[in-house]
Amino acid sequence: MRKFTAFACGTGAGLATFYLTKLNEPKAAVHNSWTRSEKPVDACALWDNNWDLRDPKSLVKPVKNDLSQEQNRYNTELEKVVPKHARHIILIRHGEYLDVGDTDETHHLTDRGREQAKYTGQRLQELGIKWDKVIASTMVRAQETADIILNEIDYEKTKVKNCAFLREGAPIPPQPPVGHWKPEASQFFRDGARIEAAFRRYFYRAHPDQTKDSHTLIVGHGNVIRYFVCRALQFPPEAWLRININHASITWLTISPSGNVSIKYLGDTGFMPVKHLTNRIPRPAKNVV
Amino acid sequence: MHNLRFRSLITFTSLWLIGRQRSSCVEEGTAIGDTKGQAWNNDWDQGNPMAAQVSAGQKSKASRHIIMVRHGHYKKSKATGDQLTDLGRRQAKLTGKRLREWNISWDQVVVSTMTRAQQTSEIILKELNFDPRSVVHTDELREGAPYLADPPSKARRQKLEESIRRDGPRIEAAFRRYFYRAPPDQERESFLLIVCHSNVIRYVILRALQLPPEAWTRLSLNHGSITWLTVHPTGYVSLRFMGDSGFMPVQQISSRCSRDSGLKPPKEIQNRG
Domain definitions of chain B by residue range:
61-271
Tell me if chain B has a CB within 8 Å of the CB of A120: no
Rounded distance, CA A239 to CA A226, Å? 9
Tell me if chain A has a CB within 8 Å of the CB of B6: yes
Q: Mark yes or no for CB contact B8/A13 under 8 Å.
A: yes
Angle (CA) B63-B68-B69 rounded to 5° is 150
Residue B116 annotated as part of some ligand binding site = yes
Q: What pLDDT sits at residue B262?
A: 44
Tell me if chain A has a CB within 8 Å of the CB of B32: yes
Q: Mark yes or no for CB contact A272/B246 under 8 Å.
A: yes
- The answer, yes or no, to whether residue B227 has pLDDT greater than 50, is yes
pLDDT, tens digit, for every residue of A118-134?
999 999 999 999 999 99
Under the banding of pLDDT at 50, 70 and 90, the label for residue B3 is: low
Q: What pLDDT sits at residue B46?
A: 82
- List the CATH code of the domain at B61-271: 3.40.50.1240
Least confident of A69-78, A211-220, B256-265: B256-265
Tell me if chain B has a CB within 8 Å of the CB of A21: yes
The larger pLDDT score, comparing residue A266 to residue B78, is at: A266
Select which of B65, B73, B143, B223 is catalytic.
B143
Tell me the shortest Cα–Cα distance from B19 to chain A, in angstroms.
9
> Which are the contacts of B185, defined by CB distance < 8 A and separation ≥ 6?
none
Average pLDDT of the segment spanning A9-26: 57
Q: Mark yes or no for CB contact B211/A28 under 8 Å.
A: no
Tell me if chain B has a CB within 8 Å of the CB of A212: no
Tell me the shortest Cα–Cα distance from A15 to chain B, in angstroms.
6
Share of chain B above pLDDT 90, in %: 64
Q: Mark yes or no for CB contact A128/B250 under 8 Å.
A: yes
Rounded distance, CA A100 to CA A106, Å? 6
Q: How many CA atoms lie within 13 A of B261 on its CB side?
A: 4
Gap between the terminal Cα atoms of chain A? 73
Q: What pLDDT sits at residue B54?
A: 85
C-alpha closest to that of A153 among A168, A137, A136: A136
pLDDT, tens digit, for every residue of A54-95?
999 999 999 888 899 999 999 999 999 999 999 999 999 999
In this complex, the residue of B34, B215, B239 whose CB is nearest that of residue A233 is B215
Q: What pLDDT sits at residue B115?
A: 94
Active site residue B232: no
Under the banding of pLDDT at 50, 70 and 90, the label for residue A1 is: low
Active site residue B71: yes
Tell me if chain B has a CB within 8 Å of the CB of A229: no
Mean pLDDT in chain A?
86
Tell me if chain A has a CB within 8 Å of the CB of B7: yes
* HEC profile of chain B: CHHHHHHHHHHHHHHHHHHHHHHHHHHHHHCECCECCCCCCCCCCCCCHHHHHHHCCCCCCCCEEEEEEECCCEEECCCCCCEECHHHHHHHHHHHHHHHHCCCCCCEEEEECCHHHHHHHHHHHHHCCCCHHHCEEEHHHCCCCCCCCCCCCCCCHHHHHHHHHHHHHHHHHHHHHHCCCCCCCCCCCEEEEEEECHHHHHHHHHHHCCCCHHHHHHECCCCCCEEEEEECCCCCEEEEEEEECCCCCHHHCCCCCEECCCCCCCHHHHHCC
Tell me if chain B has a CB within 8 Å of the CB of A288: no
Under the banding of pLDDT at 50, 70 and 90, the label for residue B86 is: very high
Under the banding of pLDDT at 50, 70 and 90, the label for residue A232 is: very high
Average pLDDT of the segment spanning A162-184: 89
Least confident of A111-125, A181-195, A215-229: A181-195
Which residues from chain B sit within 8 angstroms of residue A32, using beta carbons? 36-37
Tell me the shortest Cα–Cα distance from B22 to chain A, in angstroms.
11
Tell me the shortest Cα–Cα distance from B262 to chain A, in angstroms.
25
The larger pLDDT score, comparing residue A36 to residue B215, is at: B215
Q: Mark yes or no for CB contact B7/A123 under 8 Å.
A: no
Tell me if chain B has a CB within 8 Å of the CB of A51: no
One-letter amino acid at B115 equals T
Q: Which residue in chain B has the smallest CA separation from A123?
A: B246
Q: Mark yes or no for CB contact A260/B250 under 8 Å.
A: no
Q: Mark yes or no for CB contact A270/B240 under 8 Å.
A: no
Under the banding of pLDDT at 50, 70 and 90, the label for residue B267 is: very low
- The answer, yes or no, to whether residue B260 has pLDDT greater than 80, is no
Q: How many Cβ atoms are within 10 Å of B177's Cβ, its own excluded?
A: 15
Under the banding of pLDDT at 50, 70 and 90, the label for residue B28 is: very low
What ipTM, to 2 d.p.? Answer: 0.80
Q: Which residues 146-205 of A are in CB contact (within 8 Å) with B?
A: 172-173, 175-178, 185, 188, 192
Q: Mark yes or no for CB contact B212/A44 under 8 Å.
A: yes
Cα dihedral sign, A103-A248-A181-A34: positive
pLDDT, tens digit, for every residue of B48-74?
888 888 888 888 899 999 999 999 999
Read off the pTM: 0.82
pLDDT, tens digit, for every residue of B105-139?
999 999 999 999 999 999 999 999 999 999 999 99
Domains assigned to chain A? 2-81 (no CATH), 87-276 (3.40.50.1240)
C-alpha closest to that of B179 among B146, B205, B156, B198: B205
Which residues from chain A sit within 8 angstroms of residue B221, using beta carbons? 265
